[in-house]
Amino acid sequence: MKLQLTLLTLILTVISISCQREKKKDLDLDTPVTVEESAEVEAKSETTNTSSQEQENYAPQSTNEQTAANLRNFLKSYTASDYETLTENDKRFQFYEVDLNDDGNKEIFVRFMGPYFCGSGGCTFLLLDKYAEIITKFTVTRAPIYIEQEKRNGWSFLLVKDSGVFKELVFENGSYPTNPSVLPKAPYDAPSGHAEIMFDETFARCKTFTF
């Protein structure tokens, strides 16, 4: 009887030790987070949140990644003869998608931003159709560009500021005027309250890409 009690005690001891080991093993699966790791996780979370907030702050007409990819290919081809001489700064661009003639297809404004395409009078802008065919190449043009809701010849007319005054760009014969500096002053001093604004850092901040 004494021998049986001894064996039973030994078995219970072995089982208890085994359970304690298993419990320790289970706890070890949850690796403790150090202060440094915690700070890194918080920093990553803050970066993600900041990136998300910045994305939300961009005009949605300027953020489509597929459009950006298509434009990269187009702009590399468009600048092929000069591409190797362009700096990374010269290869920056923004875009803005908008239907100017209510045909259900969005036209695309492209804004060049580097010194190769910009001077004291402004920068080069392109207006493309959905097939990446150039509708208008604007020269010496400054951002922002205002799109009025009113149509002329079936297209919204545009307003840009040049030499301190607003100029009207009216679509005619398949294009808008290419050089605002040669146009007369508009018959008013400000856009209407219904104008859509493009490429404005405050009201229509656009995402910047490179090609």
Is beta strand 155-162 parallel, antiparallel or unpaired with respect to 122-128?
unpaired
Domain ranges of the chain: 61-210
Tokens of 202: 């405050």
| Residues 166 and 189 sit within 8 Å (Cβ to Cβ) | yes
The reported pLDDT for the residue numbered 143 is: 98
Q: pLDDT per residue over 93-111, tens digit each?
A: 999 999 999 999 999 999 9
The DSSP code for 48 is: H
pTM of the model: 0.74
Residues in the chain with pLDDT values less than 50: 1-53
| Residues 142 and 165 sit within 8 Å (Cβ to Cβ) | no
Sign of torsion over alpha carbons 39, 44, 48, 54 = positive
Q: Which of 115, 93, 56, 67 is nearest to 211 (CA)?
A: 93
Q: Specify the residue for token string 């239907």.
A: 99
